[in-house]
Amino acid sequence: MERDYNTMDDFSFKGKTVLLRVEFNSPMSPDGKILDDKRIRESVPTIRELDEAKVVLLAHQSRPGKKDFTTMEDHARRLQKYLEQNVRYVDDIFGSHARSEIVEAEPGDVLLLENVRFYAEEQLEQAPEAHAKTHLVKKLAPLAQAFLNDAFGASHRSQCSLVGFTPVLPSGAGRLMEKEIDSLNKALTGGGETTYVLGGAKVDDSISVTRNVLEKNIATKVLVTGVVANIFLAAAGINIGKPNLAFIEKNEYLGEIDRAREILKAFDGKIVLPTDVAINKDGKRVEMSVKSLPTDYVVSDIGRETIALFNDIVRKSDKVVLNGPAGIFENPDFSAGTNEMLMAATKAKFSVVGGGHSSAAVETLGIEGKISHVSTGGGAAIDFLSGKRMPAIEALKAAKAMRK
């Protein structure tokens, strides 16, 4: 398969030093322990394939000012557990300590450098050529013979460790990056009955995806749940009630109602709205028809009638892309919509699940093996599906074109 970027198949890594950008950014407990290490686990196949190389890992955790902005020490321990070999944590990024550790390492060794966001210039979003002139690149690039990017979850960023090495080193995608691009591209090719199920609270992103897949005739139908559904219901002229409108206003999404109205008008019949909802009435699940709205209670899930309707559409689909929960799924009383949509997606011929909440629900249900692809992307996955430019992927394409 001809690609417009290099993969690991285009290189020989034996005896080489490889800079590998991974995405280890994980939910953390207040005392600095990793709560979900899925992203670390997903990096293991790429690292194992580099067993004849000296592997130097670059990664970040959170950002300055956040409570979970911390070192990569615990990440190194988790990786060591899954890799089943020693992983050397280096509490330096590109200083003399880090460089001497890299020089002294042997092929087969794995080093994890300190959180790259401890370095101020990593916060800048600028072109690869500008990042190539930073201290990080100037200090580390001479020690390596190749750069691989496996950090799909950060590929919507144009930061130093993601794009700065591509102008100066032979560069390519790691196995996870390759898998993510292939799977999401397949989701965007259309063909057959292609259904998008979009929910959660990131309304602007979901509306961008909706417009993209309908304008390009990728999706046969878009089913909306969660706050996304509330926006579309409001756009259709339905009064969803004060607490639900208040949430939309608080999150500065009132303008999205106009966008949703335009999409409903332009793509009549393509977007399927809930016919009933579940509200949280004094801590209890109470179902009501959309025709009975407004309500003075928070809409917390789609109703059983809608679940049955959506289930039928999803199960009969050739392709399903699901991003975002159908409600407040952390509460068992309001998890039915999310869980049922995911279970239905396992019946489709090809299925992609994106977004942190949906991915967590997949793990809880134990159906990872029944979903074609569970993205590690979060914001990156939804940007990709929206048709937005992905700077880190574009940098890999430019690197291949430059070295032809």
Residue 3 falls inside a structural domain: no
Residue reference for tokens 């009132």: 254
Report the mean per-residue pLDDT for the chain: 95
Residues 280 and 137 in one domain: no
Residue reference for tokens 């280096």: 90
Residue 260 falls inside a structural domain: yes
Terminal Cα distance for the chain, rounded:
17
- CATH code at position 394: 3.40.50.1260
**pLDDT category of residue 170 using cuts at 50, 70 and 90:** very high
Residue reference for tokens 């990156």: 380
Residue 184 falls inside a structural domain: no
Q: Is pLDDT of 404 > 80? A: no
Residues 166 and 202 in one domain: no
Q: Is pLDDT of 302 > 80? A: yes
Q: Is pLDDT of 293 > 80? A: yes
Residue 372 falls inside a structural domain: yes
Q: Is pLDDT of 190 > 80? A: no
Domain, as residue range, for 115: 8-179+390-402
Rounded to whole angstroms, how far apart are CA atoms 259 and 261?
Answer: 5
Q: Is pLDDT of 379 > 90? A: no
What's this model's pTM, rounded to 2 decimal places?
Answer: 0.92
Residues 212 and 349 in one domain: yes
Question: What's the confidence (pLDDT) of residue 173?
Answer: 98
Question: What's the confidence (pLDDT) of residue 52?
Answer: 97
Neighbouring C-alpha atoms within 13 Å toward the C-beta of 318? 12
Rounded to whole angstroms, how far apart are CA atoms 137 and 166?
Answer: 10
Residues 234 and 377 in one domain: yes
225: closest CA among 152, 329, 373, 142?
A: 329
Tokens (6 digits) for 84: 């089943």
Helix (H) or strand (E) holding 75: helix 73-83
Rounded to whole angstroms, how far apart are CA atoms 297 and 197?
Answer: 24
CB 220 within 8 A of CB 193: yes
DSSP 324-376: S-SS-TTSGGG-HHHHHHHHHHTTSSEEEEESHHHHHHHHHHT-GGGSSEE-S
Residues 122 and 256 in one domain: no
Residue 198 falls inside a structural domain: yes
Average pLDDT (180-207) is: 92
- Overall domain count for the chain: 2
**pLDDT category of residue 403 using cuts at 50, 70 and 90:** confident
Residues 201 and 339 in one domain: yes
Binding site for ATP: what residues are annotated?
330, 355-358
**pLDDT category of residue 191 using cuts at 50, 70 and 90:** confident
Residues 105 and 154 in one domain: yes
Q: Is pLDDT of 354 > 80? A: yes
Residue 120 falls inside a structural domain: yes
Question: What's the confidence (pLDDT) of residue 115?
Answer: 97
Residues 342 and 361 in one domain: yes
- Residue 28 has what DSSP assignment? B
Average pLDDT (164-176) is: 98
Question: What's the confidence (pLDDT) of residue 350?
Answer: 95
Residue 164 falls inside a structural domain: yes
Binding site for substrate: what residues are annotated?
39, 60-63, 117, 157
Rounded to whole angstroms, how far apart are CA atoms 161 and 391?
Answer: 12
- H/E/C letters for each residue in 171-223? EEECHHHHHHHHHHHHHCCCCCCEEEEECCCCHHHHHHHHHHHHHCCCCCEEE
Average pLDDT (218-227) is: 96
Average pLDDT (289-312) is: 97
Q: Is pLDDT of 255 > 80? A: yes
Q: What CA–CA distances, in Å, run from 243 to 202, 250, 286, 293, 299?
A: 17, 10, 16, 12, 9
186 contacts: CB under 8 Å, gap ≥ 6: 319, 350, 352
Rounded to whole angstroms, how far apart are CA atoms 313 and 221?
Answer: 9
Question: What's the confidence (pLDDT) of residue 26?
Answer: 92
Residues 165 and 202 in one domain: no
Question: What's the confidence (pLDDT) of residue 134?
Answer: 96
Residue 1 falls inside a structural domain: no
Predicted confidence (pLDDT) per residue in 49-63, tens digit: 999 999 999 999 999
Residues 218 and 342 in one domain: yes
Q: Is 161 helix (H, G, I), strand (E, B) or coil?
A: helix
Residues 206 and 90 in one domain: no
Q: Is pLDDT of 12 > 90? A: yes
Question: What's the confidence (pLDDT) of residue 201?
Answer: 86
Binding site: what residues are annotated?
39, 60-63, 117, 157, 330, 355-358
Contacts 24+ apart (CB under 8 A), 279-286: 280/328, 280/331, 280/333, 280/334, 284/333, 285/333, 285/334
Residues 136 and 236 in one domain: no
Helix (H) or strand (E) holding 256: helix 254-266
308 contacts: CB under 8 Å, gap ≥ 6: none
Rounded to whole angstroms, how far apart are CA atoms 218 and 187?
Answer: 8
